[in-house]
Structures are given as structure tokens and as C-alpha cells.
């Protein structure tokens, strides 16, 4: 097995330079290195896990921690990071779709040069993302103690959004893409259940408590104490400018950019997903779900086939996940009602700015993917209706880019 992956890589770090790719530090593009390996090796499987950094996962994490600081160290309890993430989530998903699709195409082109045609000669498997953070109801730390004791400083509402909205939508998009591109897909969304960061029932090793798969978290915590320093404003500035910066020093458990990633136990569980899928795969590409019915072990995961995804085709070959993933309210919103845009002026003001940007971006998306304006509006209808009624303009008809 050869590992070409690198923390923080975006799609452009996979693509060859002639295909708008870039070096990542001193590392040549990953598909370029794949081509070099193909000269002397009989490659049977290529595991592709990409897209999260294109969506700005590290920026999302930083923003969510800043909202936690504002809530617990200042009087500002009116904002959540999920507001801003959700406002432009549909556009982010479409952008990620196009980049991951391009990555698959470039892998195939590279392998075809060496006479290999999948799935007869090798397989491409698109690996989804596991949920890594305890939600609103299953965090073992009180919300105000999550920085000092838990190293997981996230507001409950934001954590729920990641688990019940962002991850299902992203993995749903990957499943649809894998089906359209005729590659395999493994969805590990629930494989870390029982061992997510700060989750009830899990813990961290101490001199008195040895680390075992049965009792430990399977995710790295935020590897920095995030001390207050000169106060909340200084800490927030530090979060935005330094937390995931390239010059951040080594932490207790390795480089900080490994925080919020599966640790050794988590990687073993994900590896088990791949091994089980490989042993059960058929002759044609298909999608599998990976769960862990025995949380005491990383080796006893269970994989099973997923039904063919339902898609909404929006011109050309573009598609989005079905309504279950893309448009329904997430379960956590049903069991714990959230404030509507009408009740939340701050969210409305921020959404208005992003909405203006999205109107312009929609025009670019139409050109890129034959995406209809109606499709974009459909996934944001409730907030759009309120903004249009309040501000007196519409994106229902073609608009100038500077609307």
C-alpha cells in the first residue's frame, strides 16, 4: 500500500500541473505521483477521499470555535456558525461535486495511459466522511467547559448541524456522484459512533487509564489550550489567524493540523471498512454503508450495500442528492426548534449579504453546470422568501452580477 494523501490537501493538490493543479508545499500533485507509481506497479485499488478541504472544513471549525468564545466569554449569544455555513451550503456542494468529478476523470485518464480500464483492471472507491464530533445531547462536557476540559469548544446547535445536516448532505452528494461516474463508494458516516470527540461513554488516556479501542475517543481533540490571553477579542483574532496556520508549533499529540481527524483507533476502523468492502465487492461498482455494531472493537465493522441513490437531474449530467438529504429539515431541528429568520435579525442581515453573492454565483453555476436558478432557490426557499419580502428584490429573473 502506498499513501499519497496529505492533511489539508484540496482537489487542486491532486490534479497535474497541466490540469490546473498545484504543488502542496514541496509535494508534487498526487495524481502526478500516481502516474509515476503506475510505471512499475500493478495498481488494483485507488482510494479517493477529497472534498472536505475544498468546502473549507478548517475554516468552518475555526468559525464555530469563535462563536463558542463569543457565547461564553461575551454577551453575544445570538449567533451560530451553522447559520453562515448553511446559507451557502448548496453552492459549496455543487462546487465540490465538480472538483471531485474532475479528480475521478483525471485518475482514469492517468490509468488509461498505462492500459488500465476500471473496473476490469482496477477499482476506484470514493471514501465518504465520518461524523467525528459529539452532538447536542451526547457530549460528556457541559458547554461552558468544552475548551478547558474537552478541547472541543463547540456550541451544541453547531455540533448538531455538522452531524445531522452537513455530513449527510456531503456523503449523499458523494453517493450520487459515485453512481454517476461508475465508481465504488463507501459511506463511513456512523463508524465512529460511541467514540466521537467528547462523546459520552468515551474518554482519553491518562497515566492511570491505558488507551484501548473499547474506552477511548477515536478522534484527535483540538491540540491547543486556546488560552484567553488578552481577552476574547484577542483569542478570536488568534483563532482566525493562527490556529490552523502552517507555522503553528507541535502540540501534545502531533501537529495541530491533525486535530479533528480520526486518531489511530479511528484510522483502524476506517481501514476495516475498506477491507470488508474489498472482500464483499461485486464485479460492478456499487455503494456500501459502513457501521460499527460493536463499538468495543475497530475490527468488527459491518458493511452492507446501499440502494441506488435517487437524484434530481438539473440539466446536462449534473445532479443533487434526493430530497431526503437535500431539502428536509434535519432530525435535530425537529426535536429542538430553532429560531426562524423572521425571529433572528442578525441571521437575516448576514444572509442578505451572502444572498447577494449567491445570486451572482448562480449565474456562474448556470454556465458551468447548466444549473437552473429554480434548483438553487428550491434548496434555500424559506430564507430566500423572507429576504425578498423584506428587501424588495428577487433572484427569480436574470440579474446583474453586482445585485
Per-residue pLDDT tens digits for 331-363: 333 333 344 444 444 444 444 444 444 444 444
pLDDT of residue 259: 83
Distances (CA, A) of 292 to 140, 163, 300, 350: 21, 17, 7, 40
Mean pLDDT of the chain: 78
Structural contact between residues 122 and 46, judged by C-beta atoms closer than 8 angstroms: yes
Cα torsion for 144, 148, 150, 152, to the nearest 10°? 70
pLDDT for 28: 96
Give the pLDDT confidence score for residue 385 in this predicted structure.
54
**Distance (Å, rounded) from C-alpha 81 to C-alpha 83?**
5
Sole residue written with cell 449565474: 363
Burial class (CB in 10 A: 0-12, 13-18, 19+), 350: middle
Is pTM beyond 0.85 here? no
Helices 89-113 & 345-369 angle (0-180, nearest 10) = 30
pLDDT tens-digit readout, 79-106: 899 999 998 898 899 899 999 999 999 9
Is 83 buried (19+), middle (13-18) or exposed (0-12) by CB count in 10 A? buried
Residue 263 · residue 217 · CB < 8 Å: yes
According to the model, what pLDDT value does residue 362 have? Answer: 42
- Residues of the chain with confidence (pLDDT) below 50: 246-253, 312-372, 376, 383, 386-387, 390-403
The residues pairing with 388 across neighbouring beta strands, listed in sequence order, are none
Taking CA atoms, 170 is separated from 109, 118, 166, in Å, by 25, 25, 6
How far apart CA 132 and CA 217 sit, in angstroms, is 10
Which are the contacts of 316, defined by CB distance < 8 A and separation ≥ 6?
Answer: 369, 370
Query: 354 in helix, strand or coil?
Result: helix
Rounded to an integer, what is the distance from CA 117 to the centroid of its chain?
29
Q: 219 forms bridges with which residues in the sheet?
A: 262
Amino acid at each position: 500500500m502506498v499513501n499519497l494523501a496529505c492533511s489539508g490537501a484540496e482537489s487542486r493538490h491532486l490534479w497535474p500541473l497541466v490540469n490546473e493543479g498545484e504543488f502542496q508545499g514541496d509535494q508534487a500533485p498526487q495524481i502526478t505521483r500516481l502516474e509515476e507509481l503506475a510505471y512499475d506497479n500493478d495498481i488494483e485499488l485507488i482510494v479517493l477521499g477529497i472534498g472536505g478541504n475544498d468546502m473549507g472544513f478548517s475554516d468552518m471549525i475555526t468559525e464555530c470555535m469563535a462563536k463558542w468564545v463569543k457565547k461564553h466569554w461575551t454577551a453575544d449569544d445570538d449567533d451560530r456558525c451553522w447559520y453562515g455555513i448553511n446559507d451557502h451550503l448548496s453552492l459549496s456542494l455543487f462546487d465540490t461535486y465538480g472538483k471531485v468529478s474532475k479528480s475521478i476523470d483525471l485518475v482514469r485518464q492517468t490509468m488509461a495511459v498505462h492500459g488500465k480500464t476500471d473496473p476490469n483492471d482496477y477499482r476506484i472507491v470514493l471514501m465518504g466522511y465520518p461524523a467525528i464530533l459529539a452532538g447536542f445531547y451526547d457530549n460528556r462536557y457541559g458547554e461552558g467547559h468544552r475548551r478547558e476540559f474537552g478541547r472541543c469548544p463547540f456550541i451544541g446547535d453547531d455540533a448538531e448541524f455538522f452531524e445531522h445536516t452537513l455530513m449527510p448532505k456531503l456523503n449523499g452528494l458523494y453517493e450520487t456522484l459515485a453512481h454517476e461516474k461508475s465508481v465504488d463508494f463507501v459511506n463511513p458516516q456512523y463508524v465512529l459512533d460511541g467514540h466521537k470527540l467528547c462523546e459520552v461513554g468515551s474518554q482519553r488516556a491518562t497515566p492511570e487509564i491505558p488507551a484501548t479501542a473499547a474506552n477511548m475517543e477515536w478522534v484527535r481533540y483540538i491540540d491547543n489550550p486556546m488560552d484567553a490571553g488578552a481577552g476574547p477579542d484577542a483569542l478570536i483574532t488568534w483563532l482566525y489567524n493562527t490556529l490552523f496556520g502552517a507555522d503553528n508549533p507541535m502540540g501534545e499529540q502531533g501537529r495541530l493540523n491533525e486535530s479533528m481527524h480520526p486518531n489511530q483507533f479511528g484510522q483502524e476502523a476506517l481501514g476495516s471498512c475498506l477491507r470488508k468492502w474489498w472482500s464483499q465487492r461485486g464485479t460492478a461498482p456499487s455503494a456500501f454503508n459502513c457501521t460499527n455494531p460493536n463499538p468495543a472493537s475497530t475490527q468488527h465493522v459491518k458493511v452492507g450495500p446501499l440502494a441506488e441513490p435517487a437524484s434530481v437531474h438539473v440539466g446536462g449530467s449534473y445532479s443533487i442528492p434526493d430530497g431526503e438529504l437535500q431539502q428536509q429539515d434535519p432530525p435535530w431541528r425537529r426535536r429542538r426548534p430553532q429560531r426562524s429568520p423572521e425571529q433572528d435579525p442578525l441571521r437575516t442581515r448576514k444572509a442578505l449579504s451572502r444572498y447577494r453573492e449567491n445570486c451572482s454565483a448562480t449565474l456562474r453555476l448556470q454556465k458551468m453546470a447548466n444549473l437552473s436558478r429554480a434548483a438553487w432557490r428550491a434548496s434555500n426557499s424559506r430564507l430566500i422568501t423572507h429576504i425578498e419580502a423584506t428587501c424588495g428584490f428577487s433572484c427569480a429573473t436574470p440579474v446583474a452580477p453586482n445585485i
